[in-house]
Structure 1
């Protein structure tokens, strides 16, 4: 079963699992608009509600759990439902911000994901964590300004990252979900892209992909935080993130990992590939 099935990672994961011959149950709030691949069993589910979730998991032996599908409270309910339904394994979409040290209490993203990891560990079920670095899809937030003016406004154009393609995260998760050897049990994979790029370099890659001039305009940290904040990201948490990006000007927060190649047998996709895959979003 795949939660967050219509999200960036979930949609890729459903397709990958079906291609591998797996039976897939995909959860979404609106099956009529899901447009998921033929072959998936698409079920309506609002994970933020109070309904019993165990029937949704009946017959499933593995669960892909994405915090974005319903938040921390939904995770607890889903884990409890998985235990009740006899699910054997959980593969959790987590974050590379989690370090398994006291530092996990120091910022919003690490704290949120570390809490969920503890819930999954304490469940007694088999588990694998896919700790992604900075998602390439986060840069879709630049799409409106690139379409309008070709200009991206950020506080730290020189901040370095290791952007990871959502398809690579899905591929790692698929291997863990379908594993019958036990090789991926109790593993916390730190998954990055294959290269270090600054914010300005990522913007330039998008420009090359769409065939237009693009550039970065530097703005204040407060202006960047206010632009980033929203219903799912409080302003103070956005300020924490912007300050964190400032520390990445000298070095990326997450060193390059070979997890994609070790788990899937092939190198990770570059940001340039990601930009070409998303030309329609920026054009």
Structure 2
């Protein structure tokens, strides 16, 4: 049995799909009472932000994926409980900023604490240090459904965005195979892109003439908070972008090395999610 914590998140859903396709039994932990997941998946209601999950979550479990930003403060207790119930292996979805610092120190510290919780759990651990998710681009969807201009700060900020399916594929390898124990992997997409690069590719894939308009960080922060978003969200975004405008984020070949195929590029991600940007 494989336990997926953060089951309805971007990575969690993909991991569950991979495991189910391989015929593996899965328990999905989610806050969502009405979560729609593949047939045969056992859904356990639980809040990853709370240190105590229902004990029956761990029944027969051999490995656990922890993929929930909400669990950063509760990870130590959750993983200690998993180990106490005989779970042997843990994979945590972390951030490349642990190894390549960018953004506000408090956010990096959260991921370092997550990895420390895995390392001290007594289980065999693997940390996936991910670059920015290509799926973060969905934040532009409302703008592109309304028009042809993306407005944002730090136009020259460059990262190598990663497709969630690649993260999931590596996670499943680490959950189910030997050879990944007590290791950390920096996972990125295959190519570094600035924000205008991403907008250009969005336009090419969707057949639209799109452009990027640079705003000041204060303008972006004000727009985000006016939408009711908590302060942490613009702080996390703008802090990272400011640093990536000075020094591009990392680009690694780790996905290709582990999966024996190229990492999926940003155009492939846009193709998979093009409907989200349709007017």
TM over 0.5: yes
1:28 corresponds to which residue?
30
Q: Deviations over 1:4-39 (max 9, x none)?
A: 11111111110111122211111122243x221223
Judge which range, 125-134 or 212-221, deviates more. 212-221
Gaps of 5+ in 1: none
Question: Structure 1, residues 204-258: CA drift from partner, whole Å, max 9, x if none?
Answer: 21122222222111111122234456888635x734642442332354121x111
Distance 1:104 1:271, change over 3 A: closer
Question: 2:210 pairs with 195, 208, 214, which one?
Answer: 214
Residue 278 of structure 1 is matched in structure 2 by 273
Q: Does 1:260 align with 2:255?
A: yes
Aligned with 1:63: secondary structure?
strand
Would you say 1:204 and 2:214 are equivalent positions? no
| Structure 1 residues 257 and 228, CA gap change in structure 2 (3 angstroms) | farther
Aligned: 1:150 with 2:148: yes
User: Partners in 1 of 2:222 and 2:15 — Cα distance?
Assistant: 32
TM-score normalized by structure 1? Answer: 0.89
Q: Alpha carbon RMSD of aligned pairs, Å?
A: 2.3
Partners of 1:53 and 1:78 within 8 A in 2? no
Other structure's SS at 1:2 match: strand
Aligned position for 2:264: 269
CA deviation digits over 1:62-112, x for unaligned, max 9? 0000132x3323322311220221110100000000029xx6996232111
Preserved CA contact (<8 Å) 1:67 1:75: no
Tell me the distance in 1 between the aligned counterparts of 2:144 and 2:103: 35
Kept in 2: contact 1:133–1:190 (CA 8 A): yes
Contact kept? 1:55, 1:85, Cα under 8 Å:
no
Is 1:130–1:173's contact at 8 Å kept on the other side of the alignment? yes
Task: Quote the residue 2:59 is aligned against.
Answer: 58
Cα shift readout 1:142-192 (whole Å, capped 9, x = no counterpart) = 00011111221111112111000000000000000001x3x1011100000
